Structure 1
Amino acid sequence: MKDALIITNYFPPETGAASNRIFHLAEGLQKQNYSVSVITPLPNYPKGEIFDDYKGVFKNTSVENSITIHRLWIYASNSKNKLKRLIAMLSYSFSLIWFFMWHKLPNKVIVQSPPLLVAFTCMFFIRNKNRKLILNVSDLWPIAGLELGAFKKNFSYKLLERIERFNYKKADLVLGQSEEILAHITSIFPKKNTFLYRNFPDFDPPKLVEKPTNHRKIKMVYAGLLGIAQGIYKLCTELDYNNIQFHIYGAGAEKESIENLIATNPKLDIVYHGEITRSELHQALLHYDLTIIPLLNRIYGSVPSKIFEYGKLGLPMLYFGGGEGETVIKKHKLGWVVPSSDYKALNLQLSKIAITELNHRFKNQIQKTALKNFDFERQLHVLVKSL
């Protein structure tokens, strides 16, 4: 049996696309006859507080589903203050260095990026000619930060670019979630070994049951992080509710603002359901006509994993984020595409969608397409040959 270590910032019991993606990778490798271990911080995402079950400890090691998980200390924070965020990343980096000093590491290590500083810590301290370092790039930083307005092109940005290049240079193999990510990396290092590793979900698809669509309004749903990048609060204020009822699941920085908006504007047809487990969410989503996948600004390299997850659920999509995600939606005929941040075009498109279009036949077709093209097991099998 081969050994593999995964180093990540997010892992269950934390929720969200990042933790789900890494968990499925770890579980998939374990099923492919790998002995898998994971290093991750003490659970704290997305609230920025250590979960109750892990408070008061500096390190927790457990074995779950035959995977050994080392949870290390971190200064937990989700503050918008850049200094506090930097301290949080550095604290985890210091914990990693301490771990590296006292533990023997396997010859195959998969490092999640971003955060860039955490990835840099790994690429710098555990590089070894006999060790294969695999860098799993899910977003392009610092480019994404620049597009989101979090960075300016100054000395700090140039330093982050140097760190980014160092990470790519030291990686023996780079996994990228999009064609844009791989194109960016090979533009810097043309001979770098790369692998397109989409964020395909790993769960049993539900059987779709035909339901009447005799309600007047389209029941549209958003499920996920209520963060700045998604822009759900602004979306709530810009939507035309004549044709839709908007349902929201999730938590994040905009949660209170959205709740206050609903409380002070009862005429807005919005229902906030809070945060529920992933399995509960999958069941809930089957009762909606349409889902919206928004990004406030187009982020180069980003392809939301929701596309692949909702495909397996047979849920029609309205993509409102720009970039490569548009290509995936159009290519596989999963729904509709509207230019990012164009709310006039969004409302126009919503007014044109008839409730009768969102029928059982369309949902079945979406699910069949997803099962054929977004196959986690097939992708993992090809990946294992590259490791």
Structure 2
Amino acid sequence: MSKDILIITNYFPPETGAASNRIFHLAEGLQKRGFHISVLTPLPNYPKGKIFEGYKGHFKHTSKENGITVHRLWIYASNSKNKLLRLFAMLSYSFSLIWFFIWNKIPKKVIVQSPPLLVAFTSIFFLRNKKRELILNVSDLWPIAGLKLGAFKKNWSYRVLEWIERFNYRNANLVLGQSNEILTHITSIYPNKKTFLYRNYPDFNPPKIQNSSQESPKIKMVYAGLLGIAQGILKLCNNLDYTNIEFHIYGAGAEQKAIETFIKNNPKLPITFHGEIERNLLHQELLKYDITIIPLLNRIYGSVPSKIFEYARLGLPMLYFGGGEGEDIISQHNLGWIAPAADYDSLNNMLLTMKREKLSTSYRNRIQQEALNTFDFNTQLYKLGELL
């Protein structure tokens, strides 16, 4: 059995975010279990759409990181809202991948991250081979998610993306999905496709739960993550009732400037923007808050925010405001509260009636223990390793 595995992804540290963390932990975990891992990824540029310092001017950058060989390839970096520029950015990385495939020996096992659909398609199209095993790691259902978010319309280009999606599923030997909804969707198209539920469980030492701060009578609510269109943080700022809460925001993304402008124009509202900080420091900061909110502007079929598992390990109570499978996980494991997606009246009623006593240290310890028992990264990775 071959122990060499190539992972192809659009996101990897030093980039931040759920996608980057997910692939990093997968690569590191497999490396620790005796596999020889190499990673193909663009020069780091996410989420700002600019090549990071130290990588500018490179067409290719190769390094050894924690025993993993990381090949970083040229990309036309952009986070523009212009669809043509974003398409060109994806195509540029696809061309770099083709160039790499031509000039380098590719292992018999390859894990391909999707989305982006076009990058996954390029990889699968050029690497499909009867002697090679292709594992498709699906974290979101595109183009369905894009349709729900308003990024696509049901026209000829959408049908092309649907064809690409099905091509990717059809030619993958194994499909990993981070939600049951994703796997249900795939097996509805290809009933005999081999699948595996691979959640985005975190892998860090759980902190000791601190006693809740009583310095303010208000509940200290925090959001940390991408400030993108799908999360709807700007709309949340506009619609929250601040009678019983103060709201703290960490992160970066497309809505950042608009959020900062909103805070500046509404100085009496108890909203604080802290910017983006490194993940380990963020974990320490999050322990200071009473509750975290996990919002999605619209319910997205197949999407399960990885924050659920990360915050549970921190022992942080959650207010879930996104619909779908995430609601089931919060309810089943008693990790916090649920407000119907996009129903701001219900959300505010819940916040108005919420008491600090419910957010006790014992409740936080129970959440953390549930995460340690149920959302275990190593147990899941061991099962995946048995399939590879």
Band of TM-score, shorter chain: over 0.9
1:287-306 to structure 2, matched below 5 A, reads 287-306=288-307
Shift of 1:211: 3.5
TM-superposition CA deviations, 1:11-59 (whole Å, max 9, x none)? 0000000000000000000001001000000000000011111000100
1:229-268 to structure 2, matched below 5 A, reads 229-268=230-269
Shift of 1:367: 0.2
The alignment's TM-score, normalised by the length of structure 2, stands at: 0.99
1:289/1:316 contact within 8 Å kept: yes
Report the equivalent of 1:95.
96
* Distance in 1 separating the partners of 2:143 and 2:86: 15
Report the equivalent of 2:12.
11
1:286/1:315 contact within 8 Å kept: yes
Shift of 1:98: 0.3
TM-superposition CA deviations, 1:127-182 (whole Å, max 9, x none)? 11111000000000000000000000000000000000000000000000000000
Secondary structure of the residue aligned to 1:40 is: strand
1:353-364 to structure 2, matched below 5 A, reads 353-364=354-365
* Distance in 2 separating the partners of 1:173 and 1:20: 22
TM-superposition CA deviations, 1:86-134 (whole Å, max 9, x none)? 0000000000000000000111100000000000001100111111000
Report the equivalent of 2:51.
50
* Distance in 2 separating the partners of 1:203 and 1:144: 30
2:220/2:289 contact within 8 Å kept: yes
Shift of 1:215: 2.5
1:173/1:192 contact within 8 Å kept: yes
Shift of 1:243: 0.2
Report the equivalent of 2:158.
157
* Distance in 2 separating the partners of 1:161 and 1:264: 43
* Distance in 2 separating the partners of 1:44 and 1:211: 37
1:338-349 to structure 2, matched below 5 A, reads 338-349=339-350
Letter in 1 for 2:127: I
Report the equivalent of 1:329.
330
Letter in 1 for 2:174: L
Secondary structure of the residue aligned to 2:150 is: coil
Report the equivalent of 1:129.
130
1:220/1:245 contact within 8 Å kept: yes
* Distance in 2 separating the partners of 1:55 and 1:326: 42
1:177-192 to structure 2, matched below 5 A, reads 177-192=178-193
1:217 aligns with 2:197: no
- Count of residues in Structure 1 that have an aligned counterpart in Structure 2: 387
2:176/2:195 contact within 8 Å kept: yes
2:212/2:290 contact within 8 Å kept: no
Shift of 1:212: 4.3
Secondary structure of the residue aligned to 1:93 is: helix
* Distance in 1 separating the partners of 2:55 and 2:120: 24
Following TM superposition, the consecutive aligned residue runs of length 4 or more in structure 1 with deviations greater than 2 angstroms are 209-215
Shift of 1:187: 0.2
In structure 2, relative to structure 1, the CA distance for the partners of 1:320 and 1:345 (3 Å cut) is same
Letter in 2 for 1:261: F
Secondary structure of the residue aligned to 1:52 is: coil
* Distance in 1 separating the partners of 2:330 and 2:284: 23
* Distance in 1 separating the partners of 2:123 and 2:268: 52
Report percent identity of matched pairs: 71
Secondary structure of the residue aligned to 2:254 is: coil
What 5-or-longer segments of structure 1 have no aligned partner?
A: none
Letter in 2 for 1:380: L
1:14-163 to structure 2, matched below 5 A, reads 14-163=15-164
1:77/1:88 contact within 8 Å kept: yes
Shift of 1:264: 1.1
Report the equivalent of 2:316.
315
* Distance in 2 separating the partners of 1:142 and 1:25: 25
Secondary structure of the residue aligned to 2:222 is: strand
Report the equivalent of 1:196.
197
* Distance in 1 separating the partners of 2:20 and 2:113: 11
Report the equivalent of 2:167.
166
What 5-or-longer segments of structure 2 have no aligned partner?
A: none
Secondary structure of the residue aligned to 2:269 is: coil
Secondary structure of the residue aligned to 1:53 is: coil
Report the equivalent of 2:229.
228
* Distance in 2 separating the partners of 1:256 and 1:47: 12
Secondary structure of the residue aligned to 1:250 is: strand
Secondary structure of the residue aligned to 2:58 is: coil
Secondary structure of the residue aligned to 1:220 is: strand
Letter in 2 for 1:333: N
* Distance in 1 separating the partners of 2:263 and 2:210: 32
* Distance in 2 separating the partners of 1:166 and 1:263: 48
Secondary structure of the residue aligned to 1:366 is: helix
In structure 2, relative to structure 1, the CA distance for the partners of 1:22 and 1:187 (3 Å cut) is same
Secondary structure of the residue aligned to 2:216 is: coil
1:213/1:356 contact within 8 Å kept: no
Letter in 1 for 2:362: R
* Distance in 2 separating the partners of 1:214 and 1:283: 18
* Distance in 1 separating the partners of 2:213 and 2:284: 17
* Distance in 1 separating the partners of 2:212 and 2:121: 51
Letter in 2 for 1:193: K
Letter in 2 for 1:263: K
Q: Which region of structure 1 is more displaced relative to structure 2, 214-223 or 287-296?
A: 214-223
In structure 2, relative to structure 1, the CA distance for the partners of 1:87 and 1:18 (3 Å cut) is same
The alignment's TM-score, normalised by the length of structure 1, stands at: 0.99
1:136/1:175 contact within 8 Å kept: yes
1:383 aligns with 2:384: yes
Letter in 1 for 2:236: L
